[in-house]
């Protein structure tokens, strides 16, 4: 049993993408995310975005339809909508808005662990307390079951996550080295990351999928900050994916681990100048071949800043451990994507 003071909400839903959208829409509505009437200009922009999403990936529209249905709205009728903030104008509500993060991500390969399990861990650092952290478990009919850790803001901006095939990712903010979003409609980056989890089984598949998207970054705090991600799978593959002036650039490592902080691996590569990066690598090398959950937690504790949560995904048994250091105690909470899948498939 989790205490009543447990600060992370959890959503579980299985079914069609429309079912998932409907469940998320009910949550939005219950938390005062309001719909409103669109102006004619906004309707035109909304129609452009809807056409773009229709062509982009088949799973987006049913989920949007479900979200709008929870509000008693018809996605095809663009007189009303559920807007999200954007300096450029109106966009549809989608899972995945990028917010400013300052984080550390660590991946250890299976051949370096004591139990042969690959693990991805992430610290979510934020300068002020976060009271709306949220775990979202989904089991779509036509995609891989996933769990993501996020904040319960409009858009459910997934910060890290794992799917049923043992593919995981963690993101961190990074200074924009000159990446220019494509002209015209583009998919917000975090929405792309969620699609990757739902429809990719390996790091290489995920990279191919990201390359197929037109991706933009929405960050109300700073136009100069975007995100990069560390992708990893249970086979021991990993890669840092960054958005540079020439497009998507992939960086891999030949070490038993790969670490990513708020510094670039490629382009203006400066990861070695980050103290958190150096400390994580030092501790990983000290324990090479002896990595386990306790050791990974120790590494993440060593590189904490204003950490709101630490999460460790086990890509083999599909479990996850959540720690809340900002609460003043090192209490761990244990969850299982595998158990969620079993419950949803035997209900």
Instruction: Kindly state whether residue 97 falls inside one of the protein's structural domains.
Output: no
Query: Is the same domain home to 263 and 338?
Result: yes
Maximum average pLDDT range among 88-97, 130-139, 230-239: 230-239
Give the C-alpha separation, 45 to 341, whole Å. 38
Sign of CA dihedral 250, 255, 261, 262: negative
**pLDDT tens per residue, range 129-166:** 666 678 899 999 999 999 998 875 555 668 899 999 99
Question: Does one domain contain both 22 and 126?
Answer: no
Same domain, 176 and 86: no
Co-location of 159 and 297 in the same domain: yes
**Lowest-pLDDT choice from 92-96, 264-268, 303-307:** 92-96
Residue 2 lies in a domain: no
Per mean pLDDT, which of 57-66, 155-164, 333-342 is the most reliable? 333-342
Answer with the one of 54, 69, 92 that is the final residue of a domain. 92
Same domain as 173, residue 37: no
Decide if 96 contacts 190 (C-beta within 8 A). Answer: yes
Do 217 and 84 reside in the same domain of the chain? no
Residue by residue, DSSP assigns 225-257 as EEEEEEEEETTS-EEEEEEETTEEEEE---SSE
Residues 72 and 218 in one domain: no
- Structural domain boundaries, residue 23: 9-92
Do 246 and 224 belong to one domain?
A: yes
Give the CA-trace dihedral at 27, 7, 324, 140, to 10 degrees: -20
Instruction: Say if residue 23 is in the same domain as residue 85.
Output: yes
Q: Mean pLDDT for the chain?
A: 83
1-10 tens-digit pLDDT: 333 445 567 8
Q: Which of 141, 203, 163 is nearest to 318 (CA)?
A: 163
In terms of domains, do 306 and 329 share one?
A: yes
Q: Judge whether 98 lies within some domain.
A: no
319 and 263, same structural domain? yes
How many folded domains does the chain comprise? 2
What is the b/e burial string over 213-251, where b = at least 16 CB atoms within 10 angstroms of the residue's CB?
bebbbbbeeeeebbbbbbbbbbbbbbbbbbbbeeebbbb
pLDDT at 131: 64
Residue 120 counted as domain residue: yes
Closest residue by Cα to residue 124 from 140, 108, 105, 138:
105
pLDDT of residue 187: 86
Residue 330: pLDDT above 80?
A: no
Write down the pLDDT at residue 32: 56
What is the structure's pLDDT at 153? 56
Residues 32 and 161 in one domain: no
Instruction: Supply the pTM of this predicted model.
Output: 0.78
User: Where is pLDDT greater, at 55 or 167?
Assistant: 167
**51, 69, 92 - which closes a domain:** 92
Q: Which helix (H) or strand (E) holds 70?
A: helix 60-70
């Amino acid at each position: 049993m989790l205490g009543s003071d447990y600060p992370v909400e959890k959503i579980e839903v299985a079914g069609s993408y429309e079912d998932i959208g409907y469940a998320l829409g009910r949550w939005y509505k219950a938390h005062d995310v309001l719909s409103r009437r669109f102006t004619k200009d906004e309707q035109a922009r909304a129609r452009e975005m809807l056409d773009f999403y229709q062509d982009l990936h088949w799973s987006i529209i049913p989920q949007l339809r479900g979200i709008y249905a929870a509000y008693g709205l018809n996605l095809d009728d663009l007189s009303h909508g559920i807007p999200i903030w954007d300096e450029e104008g109106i966009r549809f509500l989608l899972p995945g808005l990028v917010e400013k993060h300052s984080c550390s991500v660590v991946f250890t390969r299976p051949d370096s662990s004591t139990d042969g399990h690959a693990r991805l861990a992430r610290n979510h650092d934020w300068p002020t307390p976060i009271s709306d952290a949220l775990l979202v478990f989904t089991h779509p009919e036509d995609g891989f079951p996933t769990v993501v850790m996020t904040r319960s803001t409009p858009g459910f901006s997934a910060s890290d996550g794992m799917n049923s095939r043992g593919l995981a990712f963690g993101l961190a903010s990074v200074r924009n080295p000159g990446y220019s979003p494509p002209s015209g409609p583009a998919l917000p980056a975090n929405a792309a990351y969620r699609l990757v989890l739902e429809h990719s089984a390996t790091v290489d598949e995920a990279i191919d999928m990201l390359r197929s998207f037109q991706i933009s970054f929405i960050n109300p705090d700073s136009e100069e900050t975007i995100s990069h991600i560390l992708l990893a799978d249970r086979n021991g593959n990993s890669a840092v994916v960054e958005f540079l002036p020439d497009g998507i650039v992939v960086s891999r490592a030949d070490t038993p681990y790969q670490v990513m902080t708020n510094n670039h691996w490629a382009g203006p590569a400066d990861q070695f100048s980050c103290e958190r990066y150096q400390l994580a690598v030092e501790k990983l090398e000290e324990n090479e071949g002896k990595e386990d959950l306790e050791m990974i937690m120790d590494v993440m504790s060593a590189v904490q800043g204003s950490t709101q949560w630490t999460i460790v995904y086990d890509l083999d048994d599909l479990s996850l451990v959540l720690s809340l250091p900002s609460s003043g105690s090192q209490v761990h909470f244990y969850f299982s994507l595998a158990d969620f899948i079993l419950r949803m498939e035997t209900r």
